[in-house]
Amino acid sequence: VSEIRVVFLGAPGAGKGTQATLLRQQASVTHFSTGDVLRRHRIEKTPLGLQAEACMDRGELVPDALIIALVEAELATTSMFVLDGFPRTLSQAEALDTMLATRCMPLTGVLFFDAPRDLLLRRLTARWVNPRTGRIYNTITDPPRAAGIDDDDGLPLEQRVDDTLETATRRLDVYEQQTAPLIAYYTQRGLLTRINAAADIEDVAAQVRATIPALQRMETHR
């Protein structure tokens, strides 16, 4: 059986989560999103959730030690996975290499979801909600009839803290400074494949599907 162990690398808004969800339905891989796990911890008010809260709301990274412990616990139970949103720093990438090396399960590939910053900003700030009813709009895929106004009650829509222009800008800056160096790290290791993440969802999904044979071959040729 050829195994797939892949990292989805790319800025917030590049569509990694969407594509990981699609891939999980086609290949039998575990989709592991550190952002999703952290959000669940926050809802359940666990110690980790409470520690992570402030960093997340500012659009900054949660400390490496917390994240690495989380991933280590999660990866102990699976040999086929898509990592989405991890690693985000060089020390996380090195910790991942060590974790996988001790189990003789190296990565079989890294997909880099590449999209221009203006598009990422537009996607990240696209979500607006009616705070009275909870109805969610997306200014790209599901816009209200009049900009900023709810279709049902005609009152102003609002943005969640983490969807505002200010937080989105901060998240992209953090990505450029701390995560973008991983592009070179994985290129040097011969693992990186670039995906044009500016295309629409179906097009990107087709690009991702096209990489699967290569992701599997890397394992068999090792």
Measured from the CB of residue 27, what is the shortest distance to ligand AMP in angstroms?
21
By CB under 6 A, name the one of 5, 85, 96, 126 that touches ligand AMP: 85
Which residue type is seen at 162? D
Residue 180 main-chain phi, psi, to 5 deg: -55, -30
49 part of the interface to ligand AMP, by CB under 6 A: no
Of the residues 127, 135, 170, 194, only one is catalytic, namely 127
* DSSP H helical ranges for the chain: 16-26, 34-43, 47-58, 64-75, 90-102, 117-124, 165-174, 181-188, 201-220
Q: Using CB under 6 A as the criterion, what x/- string covers residues 109-148 for binding ligand AMP? A: ----------------------------------------
User: Of all residues in the chain, what percent are helix, strand and coil, respectively (each to 5)?
Assistant: 50, 15, 35
Residue number, 55 or 129, with CB nearest to ligand AMP:
55
5 part of the interface to ligand AMP, by CB under 6 A: no
Residues forming contacts to ligand AMP in the complex (CB under 6 A) are 12, 34-35, 38, 55-56, 59-62, 67, 85-86, 88, 92, 171
